[in-house]
Amino acid sequence: MPVGLETAEAAGVLCGKAGTADLVDATVVVMAAGLGAIVRTSGPDGVRALIDAQGIRPAPVVRTV
């Protein structure tokens, strides 16, 4: 799925809020929040930290693979 400028900017802001440089995970979290999607990841702690920093409710669901 292509990432537009708005999503990229939101991911960058989210990285700043969460104190991380993981732009890929931040992009996934931004997109999952917008789509109401489940995030499947092998690194749930980083994803959950980004979700917490995003502060939206309901928060995306995280599943560990």
pTM (predicted TM-score): 0.92
Percentages helix, strand, coil for the chain, rounded to the nearest 5? 60, 10, 30
Residue pLDDT, tens place only, 43-62: 999 999 999 999 989 999 99
Domain borders along the chain are: 5-64
Q: Is the pLDDT of residue 65 over 90?
A: yes
What mean pLDDT value characterizes the chain? 95
Residue pLDDT, tens place only, 22-32: 999 999 999 99
